[in-house]
Structure 1
């Protein structure tokens, strides 16, 4: 059971989804053809899996931090069943980004994480420059140490 405050969980979810979205962008995976595109990336020093699917109006993104063997075998379609999320990794998040407004839509139950992962994800800061070219190298993320 995760005991962190809702605000910390919301921030951790947003940071995880943004990291996955940026990693997909860096790999030029955001294409409006409604195809699931799984990929791997790193976040707060841990391996992660992401999956992106986009159409003309929205971008669907799913991410798993520290994926288990089960997650690696079954993640190709981007779907995560709510009651099975703890079996997939340390943290999972799912969300839709509205292409027109650039805002995430809230999804009930769209985030699950261990007590250890939520503070790490919530304390993340983005350190990459926005002026980088489209085919830039891996996006860099660090944990803010205060």
Structure 2
């Protein structure tokens, strides 16, 4: 089953930490790399975070090996705005609007969102977003 991995999880992996997020990515890459998905936003953020040409080449190769779960603007933009408004109406704050877009893609695609970002749990409280939080306590 495909899971959508947020940038917050990839950062841990690319830094080589021993965090649960890094360990989860490593395990999934070994077990079933074809089931790891990213959206265009996550791919862009990973590429933008590359510090030099060698890092960029490695990240590009990684991104190219993953399943791209494409944004459908006519569906996902309105859905993301709705998620943001729903969270706000419930008294919760989503700090980054792009997280609403990533969540909208995950909901539409019926995939679990793997993350280390509290915004996604805020969204999951007001929408049918399946999450696998890898946030350390």
Q: TM-score, normalised by structure 1?
A: 0.25
Higher strand share: 1
